[in-house]
Structure formats: C-alpha cells, structure tokens
Amino acid sequence: MTLSGDLLIGGANVRGSAATFAAVNPANGSPMQPSFAGATREQIDQAASLAWDAFPVYKETSLEDRARFLEAIAEGILALGDELVLRAIEETGLPRGRIEGERARTVGQLRLFAKEVRDGAFQELRFDPADADRKPVAKPDLRLRNIALGPVAVFGASNFPLAFSVAGGDTASALAAGCPVIVKAHSAHPGTSALVGKAVVGAVAISGLPRGTFALLFDVGFEVGQTLVADHRIRAVGFTGSRRGGTALMKIASERKQPIPVYAEMSSINPVILYPNALLGRGAEIGKSFAASLTLGAGQFCTNPGLIIAIEGAGLDAFIESAAATLAEAPAQNMLTGGICEAYRKGVARLLAASSVSLISSGKNGTAHQASAALFQTTAAAFLANPELQEEVFGAAGLIVRCHDDSELRRVVESLEGQLTIALHVDAEDVAAASQMIPQLELLAGRLLVNGFGTGVEVSPAMVHGGPYPATSDGRSTSVGTLAIYRFLRPVSYQDFPVGLLPTPLKDVQAAARVQK
C-alpha cells in the first residue's frame, strides 16, 4: 500500500488542509515519506458530524454483527503483513519482536472484545416485572439496559503504536460498547496509524456499517485534539499520555456546556516495595529481574518500575549490587521520539543535580539518538522532603528510597500519589507485615502484584490498568481488559413500554441478566 498521508473521513482519503509534518526515524533522526497533513476545524467538524449520524445505527447493531466487525478489524491488521511491522519499527525504533508481539496483543484484544460483545453481559439487561396488585400503588414494568455514550475521541499513545493507538484498547472497547470512534493519531507514528486506519475503514465497509463509524485525523500540534474534546457530538475521551496533556483535556471536557468523561491514563512511577526476608533470601536475584524490567522497551512502559522502597540492610545491599551490575551491562536503546529522549535526559540530569540523590549505576552509552539506563538512590527523609522526586521520568530511570525502619517505610508509602501498579516482593516470613499494608496500597493503585513487576499487562477480565489520580483521571475504570467497555456505557430505564417501542435487546425479557424476584 502506498501511504498518502491523508486523513480518513467517512471512509475516504481526504487531504488535510492544515500544517504538514513527517514521521522521523528515532534511530537516526531522518525524516520519512510521505508528508502528513493536519485536519482543519472544518474537517474535524465533518468527521464529528458523520460520527454523530452513524451513532444511532451503529449503537443498535446486533451483538453478532458488532463482534464480526471487531474480528474483521483484527483480520485487516494481520493482512497488512510485514508492511505494518516494518513501518512501525522505522517510526518507533522498537525492535521487530516487540512490534510483532504488540500486533498479536492488538489483534487478541479486538478478538477478546468480540467475545465480550457476543457474551452480551455488558448490556446489563435487567427486568422488574409489573405487578398490578401491589399496594399502595401498582408496580410498573421496568427494563434497563446500558447504551453507548456516543462518539468517542481516542488519542493514540506514543509508546504503544499498535496496542494503544488507532485500533488499540480504547478504540476496541469504545467500538465494542457501540460508540463510533474518531482517532487523533500520535504524530510519532503517522504511517503506522494510517495503515491500521485503512484496515479499520476496510472493516467498516465490508461490515456494511455507516461510514462515520470511524475516522482518523492527524495533527502536528494540539489543536485537533482540543477541538475534538470540545465538540458537542463527542461524548467521551480515551487518552494515554502525559499528565499535562491529560489534565488539559480534563479541563476542556469539564468546561463544556455538557461535561463529558475523560479516561486519561497519565503518569505512574509504579512503586516496588521490597520486604526484608525476600531481600535477605533473594536480594541479588530480585535486583537482576528489576534491572531487566526497568530497561524493557527502553523503560517506555506506563507500568515501568521507577521507584524502589526498602529498609536498609545486607539484603538491600545485595539487591543494589546486583541491579547496578546488571544495569551497567544494559545497552543504550532508541527511544520513541527525539522529544521523549530529550525529556528523559533532562529528567536524569535533574536527578543527577539533586543534592539528596546519588547515582548508583548507569547503562552503556549509545548513539546520539539513544538513551542509557540510570539507577539512583536517596534517603526516605529526602524523599519525604522533596515531592518532586515522585515525578515520573519516562524511560529507564529508577530511584531507590532507603528507609531506616518499617515506620519510615510506611511514611514513604503514605506520601505516594495514585499509581497504576504497586509491587511487593515478599517471602513467607514477610506476609504478616505486608498484609498490614494491603488496605493502604489498595487505595493507591489499580493493580497490586506480588514477587513480580508491573511491566507485563495481561489483557483479560480480571485486569485493572488504571488507578487513582494522577495515575489516571478516573480511578473507577480500567483501560486494559474487558472491564474497559464499561467506560463507554450508561444505563437507561424503560418504564411500561409496549413491546413495539422497546429496543430489541429488551423485548425478550428472558434474556435479562437480572430479573427481580
């Protein structure tokens, strides 16, 4: 397929009329063909108008039709073959194995949501039968279902060019819920976005869906995204990115005439708490696996373990020695964009300059376009006194907080902001102490894990990839796993409807998930 650099609106290629930009190969800084053109306000309006028109039809597609549509997108992505893989590698600097793995995850995610749609439980069908004889007043016939919120604006993430981009988790769950989707592609991988966008447009066409069901817009800046979030036809937002970007969208959404929900996944340093017995028994081993997790994908995972909290002692020394040695051998890696690499270096420089922080180890040097891992340490007292040490340094930088005792460790944990994940490393003898802390940790993160690191995010029914602010804008939700569909639904109750007026799923009362006894 020849990439045109066009927007995808109403199923057609439309040349953007705003400023143009090109993808840049982050491995060498070279610009790539073609030039992509941003969307104007008129073009955004056109996409929103088509999405609004598509909405009443798309939201009432049968579960089977909607499931097949999601599967057709998955097929379309696989059919792109190596062209997609090569373009994604070139645009992101990520290795082939990672891109192929991410493609498998993206396709698997779409198929999982197809299964979730067929299952139908997300509709939350409920039926309270009428009772004409009830005193003091007759009881009405009440039926309830969840309906889709409306067109959703999805922002592609820089760090998951497939799994959290054009047909990634936000798009898959919004489409599964019955919402048309308008994607604002991330400008770091526009070619990858365009290829996947073509696959979605193809699936819309072969599924016979309204052409406004999906659109793909480009922009080199922020205007397209901000205009979309302010548009009265957009009814929810899915975003993965920085805290600054996420809170800016939250503000726009809350100041609309009709405020809308923003599901923004923003920042997390994913604290890891190392317990004394685990450290004594396996300090070196944990240190090695920590270093591997820290440097995975150049540290560019939302669940990257950026903070270690532990009590000083021989176990922690062994951990540090092992982590430092492993990290010293870690090759420098390409980062996703020059801007991200620059921000990482600034973050590392900030830690290097902090008087209360010292460098333990750093990874190997690389090219001018690559980043080296870095591991720092500080004291609990310094960490508590300097809240800025909690700021995420996106990339393979970690900070160890050395605590004198359990009470200092608890104060450090109490000072934490909301997180996506918190990991505990424990041995059997640590369980009693750790269990005291679980109630506090539950309030701080969406996922707690034991003897592991958060970097692998399972896509399944029991996953929560979310957490209290500022990890996300809405700690009541997850952006990974089947529960993500509920972000884009709201309940509606139908009272005393004649069968002819009832929406199809509610005509058959036997299908109701919950019939009042």
- Among residues 466, 477, 471, 169, the alpha carbon closest in space to that of 306 is found at 471
Q: What gap in Å lies between CA 492 and CA 496, rounded to an integer?
A: 13
Region from 155-163, 201-209, 342-350, 487-495 binding a copy of itself, contact rule CB under 8 A? 487-495
> Near a copy of itself by CB under 8 A, which window of 139-147, 161-169, 314-322, 325-333?
139-147
Q: Measure the N-to-C terminal CA separation of the chain; round to a whole number of Å.
A: 58
Query: Which of these segments, 21-29, 77-85, 320-328, 440-448, binds a copy of itself (CB under 8 A)?
Result: 440-448
**Residue 503 Cβ vs a copy of itself, minimum distance, rounded to whole Å:** 7
Smallest distance, a copy of itself to C-beta of residue 17, A: 30
- In this structure, the chain runs to a length of 517
Q: Helices 96-119 & 169-177, crossing angle to 10 degrees?
A: 10
**Is residue 507 near a copy of itself by the rule CB under 8 A?**
no
Cβ closest to a copy of itself, residue 117 vs residue 351: 117
Q: How many residues bind a copy of itself (CB under 8 A)?
A: 75
Lookup: tokens for 323: 């982590």
Cα separation, 515 vs 517, whole angstroms: 6
In whole angstroms, how close is the CB of 263 to a copy of itself at the nearest point? 11
**Binders of a copy of itself in range 250-269 (CB under 8 A):** 250, 254, 258-259, 261
Question: What is the closest distance, in whole angstroms, from the C-beta atom of residue 342 to a copy of itself in the complex?
Answer: 29
Task: Kindly state whether residue 485 participates in binding a copy of itself, applying the rule CB under 8 A.
Answer: no
Q: Which residues pair with 334 in a beta bridge?
A: 370
Residue 437 CB coordination number (10 Å)? 18
Concerning whether 179 is annotated as a catalytic residue, the answer is: no
Among 66, 68, 87, 143, binds a copy of itself (CB under 8 A): 143
Cβ atoms of residues 468 and 443 within 8 Å: yes
Nearer to a copy of itself, 1 or 515 (CB): 515
Residues 109-128 that bind a copy of itself (CB under 8 A): 126-128
Q: Is 435 one of the binding residues for a copy of itself (CB under 8 A)?
A: yes
Min separation Cβ 421 and a copy of itself, Å: 8
Which residue from 3, 20, 414, 486 is spatially nearest to 261, judged by alpha carbons? 486
Candidates 2-10, 67-75, 394-402, 416-424; binding stretch for a copy of itself (CB under 8 A): 416-424
Q: Does position 514 bind a copy of itself by CB under 8 A? A: yes
Structure tokens at 491: 């309940």
> What's the token pair of residue 345?
């270096």
CB of 458 to a copy of itself, least distance (A): 6
CA–CA distance, 218 with 3 (Å, rounded to integer): 14
Q: Select the residue interacting with a copy of itself from 451, 507, 508, 511 (CB under 8 A).
A: 451
| Residue 286 lies near a copy of itself (rule: CB under 8 A) | no
How far is the C-alpha of 123 from the C-alpha of 178, rounded, in Å? Answer: 10
Q: Kindly indicate which of the ranges 181-189, 213-221, 303-311, 495-503 contains the residues binding a copy of itself, using the contact rule CB under 8 A.
A: 495-503
Contacts of 234 (CB under 8 A, 6+ apart): 48, 51, 150, 151, 152, 153, 182, 228, 260
Closer Cβ to a copy of itself, 304 or 377, answer by number: 304
300-330 burial, b at 16+ Cβ within 10 Å, e below that, comes to bbbbbbbbbbbbbeebbebbbebbbebbeeb
Toward a copy of itself, which CB reaches closer, 275 or 344?
275
Q: Please state at what angle helix 63-79 crosses helix 190-206, rounded to 10 degrees.
A: 140
If binding is defined by CB under 8 A, does position 132 make contact with a copy of itself? no
User: CB–CB of 485/66 below 8 Å?
Assistant: no
By beta-carbon proximity to a copy of itself, the closer residue of 256 and 346 is 256
Q: Does 442 interact with a copy of itself (rule: CB under 8 A)?
A: yes
Cβ at position 14, least distance to a copy of itself in Å? 28
**CA atoms of 169 and 156, how far apart (whole Å):** 10
Phi, psi of 392 (to 5 degrees): -65, 130
Instruction: Candidates 203-211, 352-360, 368-376, 494-502: pick the segment binding a copy of itself (CB under 8 A).
Output: 494-502
Q: How far is the CB of 179 from a copy of itself (least distance, A)?
A: 12
403 is catalytic: no
State yes or no: residue 230 binds a copy of itself (CB under 8 A). no
Lookup result for tokens 């439309």: 14
The three-state secondary structure class of 259 is coil
Q: Is 292 in the site for a copy of itself (CB under 8 A)?
A: no
Distance in Å, CB of 267 to a copy of itself, minimum: 14
Residue 164 phi, psi dihedral angles, 5° rounding:
-130, 45
- Per-residue binding string, a copy of itself, 50-89, x by CB under 8 A, is ------x--xx-----------------------------
438-448 burial, b at 16+ Cβ within 10 Å, e below that, comes to: eeebeebbbbb
Q: How many CB atoms lie within 10 A of CB 248?
A: 18
Residues catalogued as catalytic: 265, 302
